[in-house]
Structure 1
Amino acid sequence: MTTPAPEKTTRRRRPSQRASTEPRPVLRLGFAGWIVSWLIPTAVMGGLLLALSLMPGLDGEGFLAPLIPLIGAAAVVVGIPGTLLVTWLFRHQPRPTVHILGYVLVGLLYGPVVLVVGAGGLVPMLIPLIGFPAGILLGLGRWMAQPLTRVDDPEREATTPGLDASQTTKDPQTKDPEHD
């Protein structure tokens, strides 16, 4: 007895490209949300370094005070384009954890900016001193900015007739005093 030959189906294995041309939801982070998610964590990081440099005994060698301008430079050179790029790249991803992890990655990139000063001595050891707290603070800043975001869902707007744009972008958990 022989084994029958497998039959090939005429159906394509990949989904058609028409499914990907449908409008996808877009997560919008306004200017105020971006300021909360970028400027506040950067200012907190600079404030922490300033407070640590002013504490007696902690800054005996004087290596913390010069880090403050480096944090500012990292925020301008890496932070602004990085956070804007993460926001733009993940605009079709409505899950906030993806955005938070992207901001953490941008914050971690603040660390290698200290190599501008020079790669000798203790300077490379300062990379984690700047990168890890900046990553955590930028992630927390993006998490704090979550109430300032909105999701524009074109599919929901098209299926819900009679609602204006302000009613379709509301969070379903928020209560509307007109309809209570």
Structure 2
Amino acid sequence: MTTPAPVKSTARARRKAARAVSGPRPRLRMGLNGFLVAWLLPNLLMAAVVLALTLIPSLQRFGTLTPLLTVVGIAGLVIGLPLCLLVNRAFRHVLNQWVHVLAYALVGMLYGLVVLAQGVGGVLPMLIPVIGFPAAVLMGLGRLAARPLVDVVVPGAEPRG
């Protein structure tokens, strides 16, 4: 008995034809100012909080928190920047901005994983939620603050101002 030839799925062809009939979809466009509010402002705020914590004398008995500043900075550049750009690109056709806020919060949660890259054992892996949860809240709030700076671009419509 022979195996029948595989039949190509027509679902992809139907989606492509439907897209060709409906034309280009509307998308969200975030300018540089919006991205700076959504990404850079939460990172700077997180660094300022860590810096303020390093200046509290009663916390110095647990050890210096200065290396935590480096961890937060590396997390913002290595994880935050590329993933936030990816979120903006991947979800550009999703007009519900709450999806973007949640995606930015998820990116902030991943900041804690930079602690594992430090290669230090002991108590340091316990810092994953200490870095990840505040970063998630700040990144979500940063994207929420950038909502007014995001435009909906409808193809074929007249550009504003």
- After TM superposition, the score normalised by the length of structure 1 is 0.77
What is the identity, as a one-letter code, of the residue corresponding to 1:72?
A: G
| Match among 14, 17, 23 for residue 16 of structure 1 | 14
**Are the aligned partners of 1:37 and 1:141 in contact in 2 as well (CA < 8 Å)?**
yes
Q: Percent identity?
A: 47
Tell me the C-alpha RMSD between the 2 structures.
1.7
Larger Rg, first or second structure (1 or 2):
1
Match of 1:166 in 2: 160
Q: How does 1:125-164 map to 2 (within 5 A)?
A: 125-154=126-155, 157=157, 164=158
- Unaligned 5+ segments in structure 1 are 1-12, 158-163, 168-180
CA distance in 1, matches of 2:86, 2:97: 15
Distance across 2 between alignment mates of 1:143 and 1:72: 22
Of 79-88 and 18-27, more deviation after overlay is shown by 18-27
- Secondary structure at the aligned position of 2:116 is classed as helix
The count of corresponding residues between Structure 1 and Structure 2 is 148
Alignment TM-score, normalising by the size of structure 2: 0.86
CA contact (8 A) 1:104 1:135 kept: yes
Matched residue, 1:100: 101
* Distance (Å, rounded) in 1 between the aligned partners of 2:150 and 2:89: 13
Distance 1:126 1:63, change over 3 A: farther
Structure 2 matches for 1:20-99, cutoff 5 A?
20-21=19-20, 22-99=23-100
Q: Which runs of 4+ in 1 moved over 6 A?
A: none
The structure with more helix, counted as a fraction of residues: 2
Matched residue type, 2:66: A
Unaligned runs of 5+ residues in structure 2 are 1-9
Offset, 1:59: 2.9
| Structure 1 contact 25–154 (Cα < 8 Å) conserved | yes
Q: Give the C-alpha shift of residue 58 in structure 1.
A: 1.8
User: Counterpart amino acid of 1:90?
Assistant: F
